[in-house]
Amino acid sequence: MRDVTTVRLLFLIPLLAAVGVAVGVYSTKGGGAEPRSVPSAGDGGTVDVAADADGLALVPGSARALGVFKLSRGPSLDLSEADTQDGKSCLFESSRDGGEGRMCLDGGLFAHRRIAFVVDSQGGPGRFTELHVPGVVAPEIRMAEILKTDGTSVPIDLTSTRAFVYESPASELQQGVYPSGFRLYGPSGKLVETVHFPVNP
């Protein structure tokens, strides 16, 4: 079974050592969960799950499917969100090969920034064979761009649930070009916030 959290750490070492501080997250290993223990996006709609196998107690009726995303490399990725009974909000991801992960924030997914995201990768630390960034933006965000380490940027496709998965092209990974942050825009097209991935000094 793929351990999403462990895979993610391979990328965090050289490029995102402080990302947990930056987005206010904690991540936990989801490999021991039962098939229904983590909210699954499935074909859309809501998910009513009370708790997962690790004892994370969710507020009944708070779980919401964000979408299913097909990756060019690897299985599809399900995203969903839910609130916990101790005042946190969590973004869940589960892949069709059994890998699961989550990140949770005190006070809500957008308490600190208008975007909640994680970084998943394979390979590294100097070279990666796969890298994708799943996440969700706040309700007031209408457009978003992902910034890259070569100074370029590209628009992010947001779903009706405001979710997204950005997948780095293989050609850019081979050149050592990685995501480095986001620009977030409001309904009028005005820049609302820029979020940078922290890097080692």
Tens digit of each residue's pLDDT (9 = 90 or more) over 117-136: 988 888 766 778 889 999 99
Residue-wise pLDDT for 62-101, tens only, equals 999 999 999 887 788 999 999 999 999 999 998 877 778 8
Cα separation, 176 vs 56, in Å, equals 37
pLDDT at position 99 is 77
Of 125 and 19, more confident? 125
Alpha-carbon distance values, 5 to 1, 116, 200 (Å): 12, 16, 20
Cα separation, 119 vs 135, in Å, equals 9
Cα separation, 161 vs 40, in Å, equals 14
Q: Is the dihedral of CA 191, 130, 7, 136 positive or negative?
A: positive
Alpha-carbon distance values, 152 to 32, 35, 88, 181, 201 (Å): 39, 39, 34, 11, 21
The percent of residues in the chain predicted with pLDDT above 70, rounded, is 69
Of 41 and 76, more confident? 76
Dig out the tokens for 62 from the structure. Answer: 């708070």
3-state secondary structure of 8: helix
pLDDT at position 16 is 35
